[in-house]
Structure 1
Amino acid sequence: MDTGTHVVMGLSLGGLATLDPTIANDPLLPTSIMIATIIGSQAPDFDTVLKLRNNAVYIRNHRGITHSLPALFIWPLLITAGIVAFTPETNWQLVLLWSFIAVVLHVFVDIFNSYGTQALRPISNKWIALGVINIFDPFIFFSHLAAFALWAFGAAAGPTFFILYLLLVLYYSWRIFEKKKVDKHAKRLHPDATHVFVSPSIRWNQWHLVIRTPELLYVAESRNNKIEYFEKYSFDPIPDIPVISAARRDPNLAAFLSFSPTYRWEVEEKGELTEVRFVDLRYRSKGHYPFVAIVQLTKDLEIVSSYTGWVFSEETLQKKLNVVTE
């Protein structure tokens, strides 16, 4: 989820914790718990600082080890140690419990979008992405704001946020059901499909689709239970040819391939350079595919420039490559 949603979830967990009389009746503990849940709801995303290095490192590692099984326990211990260092009289067991709940909730909700997490590391490095909830979901965010408003006008925090979370359980269940409907519809139309990639959009009635058959890739959209097709590409596995093999040694392309499950590739001669381009098909927006990886090589297969990440125009992409092709 986006940072704002994680923040409001941290705040709501702090309010939910007041259902416990031990917390509600303590003059200090509610503040400590609120701090713990807010930090816990953000902690797994501290790896965002990897963007300061480069996109390849960020894409390969974001939502990786910081969202892993060991991290579920390490983050709460660090958060609790920090809070207890400033307020040693606080109930550290309850602070630890609620910081743990906040961290687990963060990782859990991230699993439901199309980016996913490596939540099973070190058991498995597989990306778990259920593709049910958009990165920013207006209903989740604004339902929290509504609950905060009720709290501000005098509603009891614990019962208010308990009802909110029951509502969210129903909402997630409904979204799972809706995605399954889209998946089944696509498979009815393409009984030979080997994979159907369904990604949510910000609209409830709209889903992005990539349907892979043994020979073709269909890029489509499901809107109001009707599937509209946009593009159709030949499904060509990555060939074992020298230029592709050389490009795959580049960290940017390697990061892209470690993350993207469905893409198309092309090799194009551009003057003295050869350009190898991979395009993720899941994120089509206004006729454009913004998530790409590009490697430019000389005739001797020396890499001169590369990039991976989100770009929304060819002009911007060429500026990022910082190479003038002839």
Structure 2
Amino acid sequence: MDSITQAALGAAVAHAAWHKPLGRKAFLWGAFFGTLPDLDVVFFPLLDDVQQLYWHRGESHSIFFVLIGGALLGALLWSARWKTKISPQRAMAGMVLILATHVLIDYFNIYGTQFLAPFSRFGFSLGNLFIIDPLYTGPLLLGIIAAAFSRSGHRYRFTWAGLAVSSAYVLFSLVSHAYADSVFSRQLEAKQIGVKASYTGATPMNTLLWRHVALTDSGILIGYFSVVADSGEEEIEFVTVQRNEALVAPYRGQRNVEAVDWFSNGFWVAEEIDGVITMADLRFGELRTDPNDPPEKWQYIFAWEISDDPDSLLQRSVSLKESRKAIDTLWARLTGDTRERSQF
């Protein structure tokens, strides 16, 4: 998730665990250690483009770092600062919880988390939350602010309330995700489409509009389903996107191509733009400024340029203006405004 969310979650968990011995200072400790796993990016200058892709959400997000690193960090803080305030067991347990919740909430989004690094580079991801979701982060921040400024002796209850509401939202997202996934799967089976692999993910900043990506022999199918605007029995129109494997065939075996294939779990599409070959991860969604845009006009949130240099993996960026237009289009689809004039 984004850094604000991770800091807020870490602060809330720390205050829930350490509010008695540390008071409001628990928020600061939690905010720092809640973002600690994402500080793996400080090593990026020492790594090439391909290594950076493997490194982020790698060792710093593994269960080994959570358990061993959390216990060691907790013991170190207890020994250096908290001997007279807190027991070593509580210090270590709180630290493990802060790191564990960071890794868990990352697992819920699309990016993928290498739980078993360095022994396995498999990226675990569920997709029930988008990387940024104010409806999850908001309750955490409100609870923290209320607890920080409250003069009540039970101010920790505000923190717990924020955690409870945000956790309830996650539970809702899991139910909504499971329902949408079942609708997609049922309709693809009814169409007798052979699916090699598929993925259902949340669209930006909501858990009501879902996007399905299905890898088939004829291409990659992409469809949308809104739990508030669509009926589970209404036919979903899937758009077929060609992977254009021939474009990357000359580069097969290179580190940069294999890294994108690994990172995207095979859900990628190749394009040639102004003579430059790119590979885009389809799991993160496409940017459509108009609901009727064909795949040839789509832009992608995560796309990389592929060159003869196997160590080069330059990520392409999208403009803020185009992103805003795409969000407007997604919102219209969520509420059903585009159903009469497009297949989106």
TM-score by length of 1: 0.77
2:157 matched to which residue of 1? 159
* CA-CA distance at 1:143 after TM superposition: 0.7
SS of aligned partner of 2:300: coil
Kindly indicate whether the alpha-carbon contact (under 8 Å) linking 2:110 and 2:126 is maintained by their aligned counterparts in 1.
yes
d(CA) in 2 for partners of 1:43, 1:74? 14
What amino acid does structure 2 have at the position aligned with 1:244? Y
1:289 matched to which residue of 2? 300
Please tell me whether residue 85 in structure 1 is matched to residue 80 in structure 2.
Answer: yes
d(CA) in 2 for partners of 1:9, 1:240? 41
Q: Percent sequence identity over matched residues?
A: 19
Please tell me whether residue 263 in structure 1 is matched to residue 268 in structure 2.
Answer: yes
Please tell me whether residue 214 in structure 1 is matched to residue 220 in structure 2.
Answer: no
Kindly indicate whether the alpha-carbon contact (under 8 Å) linking 2:247 and 2:272 is maintained by their aligned counterparts in 1.
no
SS of aligned partner of 1:136: coil
Please tell me whether residue 176 in structure 1 is matched to residue 174 in structure 2.
Answer: yes
CA distance 1:169–1:106, change in 2 (3 Å): same
1:64-102 deviation per Cα after TM superposition (whole angstroms, max 9, x unaligned)? 111112101333213541463245544333222211110
* CA-CA distance at 1:134 after TM superposition: 1.2
CA distance 1:197–1:98, change in 2 (3 Å): same
2:251 matched to which residue of 1? 244
d(CA) in 2 for partners of 1:180, 1:304? 39
1:39 matched to which residue of 2? 32
* CA-CA distance at 1:289 after TM superposition: 1.5
SS of aligned partner of 1:190: helix
What amino acid does structure 1 have at the position aligned with 2:57? R
1:75 matched to which residue of 2? 69
2:132 matched to which residue of 1? 136
d(CA) in 1 for partners of 2:163, 2:60? 25
Kindly indicate whether the alpha-carbon contact (under 8 Å) linking 2:61 and 2:115 is maintained by their aligned counterparts in 1.
yes
Which residue, 307, 313, 328 being the options, matches 1:307?
Answer: 313
1:317 matched to which residue of 2? none
1:180-213 deviation per Cα after TM superposition (whole angstroms, max 9, x unaligned)? 1211121222112333222212123222321223
1:232 matched to which residue of 2? 240
* CA-CA distance at 1:127 after TM superposition: 0.8
1:3 matched to which residue of 2? 3
Kindly indicate whether the alpha-carbon contact (under 8 Å) linking 1:15 and 1:161 is maintained by their aligned counterparts in 2.
yes
Please tell me whether residue 96 in structure 1 is matched to residue 96 in structure 2.
Answer: no
Q: How many pairs were matched up? A: 293
1:253-304 deviation per Cα after TM superposition (whole angstroms, max 9, x unaligned)? 332122012012357995xxxx54322222212231232233234xxxxx49
2:280 matched to which residue of 1? 279
CA distance 1:146–1:54, change in 2 (3 Å): same
What amino acid does structure 2 have at the position aligned with 1:125? R
* CA-CA distance at 1:236 after TM superposition: 6.8
Q: Which has a greater percent of strand?
A: 1
Larger Rg computed on CA atoms: 1
CA distance 1:125–1:225, change in 2 (3 Å): farther
Kindly indicate whether the alpha-carbon contact (under 8 Å) linking 2:8 and 2:137 is maintained by their aligned counterparts in 1.
yes
1:321 matched to which residue of 2? none
TM-score by length of 2: 0.74
d(CA) in 1 for partners of 2:68, 2:246? 39
1:216-254 deviation per Cα after TM superposition (whole angstroms, max 9, x unaligned)? 31223323454865741246778995x233xx32x4333
Gaps in structure 2 of 5+ consecutive residues: 289-297, 320-344
CA distance 1:31–1:167, change in 2 (3 Å): closer
d(CA) in 1 for partners of 2:140, 2:316? 29
Kindly indicate whether the alpha-carbon contact (under 8 Å) linking 2:40 and 2:60 is maintained by their aligned counterparts in 1.
yes
* CA-CA distance at 1:51 after TM superposition: 3.6
Please tell me whether residue 63 in structure 1 is matched to residue 57 in structure 2.
Answer: yes
**252-261 vs 97-106, which moves further:** 252-261
CA distance 1:59–1:296, change in 2 (3 Å): closer
d(CA) in 1 for partners of 2:174, 2:202? 11
Gaps in structure 1 of 5+ consecutive residues: 298-302, 314-326
Kindly indicate whether the alpha-carbon contact (under 8 Å) linking 2:128 and 2:174 is maintained by their aligned counterparts in 1.
yes
d(CA) in 1 for partners of 2:311, 2:28? 44
1:121 matched to which residue of 2? 117
SS of aligned partner of 2:117: coil
